[in-house]
Amino acid sequence: MKLLEIKNLSKSFNGRKVLEDISLTVEKGEVVSIIGPSGSGKSTLLRCTTFLETMDDGELSYSENPVVVSNNGRAVYPSKNELKEAKKHFSLVFQNFNLFPHFNVLKNVSDAPIHVLKREKEEVIEESMKILKKVGLEEKINSYPCELSGGQQQRVAIARALVMNPDMLYFDEPTSALDPEITAGILRIMKELAEEKMTMVIVTHEIDFARAVSDRVIFMDGGYIIEQGAPKDVIDNPSNERTKAFLKKLSV
């Protein structure tokens, strides 16, 4: 089943094209990593698919249900309520954690399912505790973000995303603000999620990680998808010169 389908997405900022004619699908259980240089449009693509930015043109569907449609070269968005329903299909883990500083760990994780999804508080708390144990933070439930390391904050962010029971998870450079030792712990959690067949779209600069966990790797540059395929093709044996040049720079 196609959990995500994008057709001919384009996006400009102040007249400058950031994304041009992007089309891709993500199947249930698939792990897709998006790599490419800074400014290639990777994060903007994620922001468009999660409705943090509006597309200029193109179509977007979740679970084979159209959400954004194209009409006369312009993206048309649905009502606020329909958009709210579409947002239940995914969760997004940000680069900079985006935790609520005045909430403790447990409240950061449990607040949205209780107040946004209107689920039973006791059930959400129980599930939140299970997920916090899974990410190794069961002893930090009463701590506040300022009392946690960057790696611990990112694990809270992952737990917060998981407790929403999304069909798929988006990660926007989840380790770029962390040092290498802490990065390893976050990548280990993401690898476990991949093994559990969680559908994930990951913008990352961790090429070895992308090679190890991805079903498919997408290389973006200049607002275009330049190349995509299995990691062994795109990372280990790229066919496009721009992909080769990017990977060569990383290995120097």
CA distance 119 to 74: 36
226/242 Cα distance (integer angstroms): 8
Axis crossing angle, helix 121-134 with helix 150-162, rounded to the nearest 10: 130
Please, which residues have CB within 8 angstroms of residue 49's CB and are 6 or more apart in sequence?
Answer: 4, 6, 60, 90, 170, 201
- Residues 140-192 pLDDT 10s: 999 999 999 999 999 999 999 999 999 999 999 988 878 887 888 899 999 99
* Alpha-carbon span 41 to 225, nearest angstrom: 9
Structure tokens at 155: 């694990």
Condensed to tens digits (0 to 9), the pLDDT of residues 1-21 reads: 999 999 999 999 998 999 999
Tell me the whole-structure pTM to 2 decimals: 0.94
Phi and psi torsions of 204, nearest 5° = -150, 155
Residues 191-228 as b/e (b if ≥16 CB within 10 A, e otherwise) read eebbeeebbbbbbbebbebbbebbbbbbbbbebbbbbb
Q: Structure tokens of 126?
A: 């129980």
- How many Å apart are CA 22 and CA 162, to the nearest integer? 27
Residue with tokens 């066919």: 239
Cβ neighbours, 10 Å, residue 5: 19
d(CA 18, CA 56): 11
Give the dihedral of Cα atoms 8, 59, 215, 252; nearest 10 deg.
40
What mean pLDDT comes out for the span 125-150?
A: 94
pLDDT band at residue 252 using 50, 70 and 90 as cut-offs: low
CA distance 188 to 174: 12
* pLDDT of 37 strictly over 70: yes
Report angle CA 147, 193, 29 to the nearest 5 degrees. Answer: 145
Within 10 angstroms of residue 98's Cβ, the number of other Cβ atoms is 13
